[in-house]
Amino acid sequence: MSPDHDTGFLLPVDKPVGPTSHDIVALARRALGIRRIGHTGTLDPFASGLLILCVGPATRLAEYLDPQTKVYRARVRLGAFTDTDDRTGTVIATSDQWSRLDRRTIEQSLSKQVGEILQTPPAYSAKQMGGERMYAVMRRGGQAVVPPSRVRIESIRVVSFELPDVDLEITCGTGTYIRAIARDVGADLGCGAHLAELRRTRIGRFDIESALRVEQFDEPAAIEARQVDPLRALGDLPVIEVEGDQAESIAHGRGIRVGGAPASGPVVIACGGRLLAVAESHDGVIRPRKVFAA
């Protein structure tokens, strides 16, 4: 099985708990017989859920897919901080203060993290300090000083409440650490908390219900049925249809002027129902950044 040689395709996969995101990519390479496969939105081994594989030339689209809004189901366990901010770490502080909390108090605390906020990433994270990953610094006994990052958290909803566990549905932008949400609500409530379970259920237009299960990698029909055309995957971006001379100009990397184009930002250029290019719009001039079809 091979993708369209011009554009490739996207493949949503339901990653189980245990393997790394790279393990899933390796499994896909063996199953598809294609070396050029990447993914967007890394999931930690203890997390499960939606992982989008970019196959063939579609690997060039990762930067446009990663910023899409993501939805998670998360279980926060109150009563203990860990050094990694999740259940895989070492407990560094405990408290029984959680036993005196009610649902309303917890919801009020969580609401403080909704919106455009500054969030301090976990010390054990892939953020870089002096050219080195933070988790590598911590594992060799160093001290990680992680500056806060601005993130967007659209909503945090309590879906189940059985203390010390609180199950949440979180809708957020790229770069948000769900582990940090758990840690910070534990600090605000004065009882400590960490992330006990995590499952990603949506990325942009991709939903976990349409994802391929890992045991289906040996079923060509199942893989075929779940392939997503790049043009559809980029549906959140403005789409401009071109033909004739304009299509030829874009295919050769030349800019064109299009009436009604967005004033600025990325746009998708389509021709005959196929992805031709991803371009940047500036004052009505469309300049291709990544051309996919000749």
Q: Are residues 13 and 134 in the same domain?
A: no
Q: Report yes or no on 181 lying in a domain.
A: yes
**What distances in angstroms separate CA 116 from CA 44, 113, 119, 175, one per listed residue?**
24, 8, 9, 12
Which of 147-151, 174-178, 209-213, 233-237 is the least confident region? 233-237
Label residue 130 by pLDDT band (50, 70, 90): low
Q: Rounded CA gap, 152 and 70, in Å? A: 11
Q: Rounded CA gap, 61 and 203, in Å? A: 14
Q: Are residues 80 and 181 in the same domain?
A: yes
Q: Are residues 162 and 210 in the same domain?
A: no
Q: What is the pLDDT of residue 124?
A: 65
Count how many domains the chain has. Answer: 3
Label residue 65 by pLDDT band (50, 70, 90): confident
Label residue 273 by pLDDT band (50, 70, 90): confident
Q: Are residues 211 and 249 in the same domain?
A: no
* Main-chain phi, psi angles of 234, to 5 degrees: -95, 20
Q: Are residues 117 and 164 in the same domain?
A: yes
* Main-chain phi, psi angles of 103, to 5 degrees: -60, -40
Q: Rounded CA gap, 201 and 204, in Å? A: 10
Q: Report yes or no on 48 lying in a domain.
A: yes
**Domain extent for 80:** 70-203
Q: Are residues 180 and 98 in the same domain?
A: yes
Q: Are residues 44 and 63 in the same domain?
A: yes
Q: Report yes or no on 127 lying in a domain.
A: yes
Which residue among the candidates 6, 14, 23, 44 is catalytic per the annotation?
Answer: 44
What residues contact 153, with CB distance under 8 A and at least 6 apart? 113, 114, 115, 117, 170, 171, 172, 173, 176, 181
Q: Report yes or no on 3 lying in a domain.
A: no
* CATH code: domain of residue 161: 3.30.2350.10
Output the DSSP codes for 105-141: HHHHHHHTT-EEEEEPPPSSSS-EETTEEHHHHHHTT
Q: Rounded CA gap, 200 and 214, in Å? A: 15
What residues contact 221, with CB distance under 8 A and at least 6 apart? none
Q: Report yes or no on 4 lying in a domain.
A: no
Q: Are residues 193 and 141 in the same domain?
A: yes
Output the DSSP codes for 216-280: GGG-HHHHHHH-B-HHHHTTTS-EEE--HHHHHHHHTT--EE-TT--SEEEEEEEETTEEEEEEE
Angle at 156 between CA 150 and CA 161, to 5 degrees: 140
Closest CA to 229 of 162, 164, 163, 276: 276
How much is the mean pLDDT over the chain? 90
| pLDDT beyond 90 at 112 | yes
Pairwise pLDDT comparison (7 vs 124), residue with the higher score: 7
Q: Tell me whether residue 44 is one of the annotated catalytic residues.
A: yes
**What distances in angstroms separate CA 172 from CA 5, 32, 150, 223, one per listed residue?**
34, 32, 12, 29
Label residue 259 by pLDDT band (50, 70, 90): confident
Q: Are residues 80 and 141 in the same domain?
A: yes
Q: Are residues 157 and 248 in the same domain?
A: no
| pLDDT beyond 90 at 282 | no
Q: Are residues 199 and 109 in the same domain?
A: yes
Which of 114-118, 200-204, 251-255, 262-266 is the least confident region? 262-266
Q: What is the pTM of this model?
A: 0.89
Contact status, residue 162 vs residue 168, Cβ threshold 8 Å: no
Closest CA to 118 of 149, 156, 154: 149
Percent of the chain at pLDDT > 70 equals: 90
| pLDDT beyond 80 at 136 | no
Q: Report the SS3 class of residue 28.
A: helix
Q: What is the pLDDT of residue 64?
A: 87
Q: Rounded CA gap, 72 and 200, in Å? A: 4
| pLDDT beyond 50 at 3 | no
Output the DSSP codes for 68-79: S-EEEEEEEEET
Q: Report the SS3 class of residue 63.
A: helix
Q: Report yes or no on 215 lying in a domain.
A: yes
Q: Are residues 222 and 262 in the same domain?
A: no
| Region 196-220 average pLDDT | 95
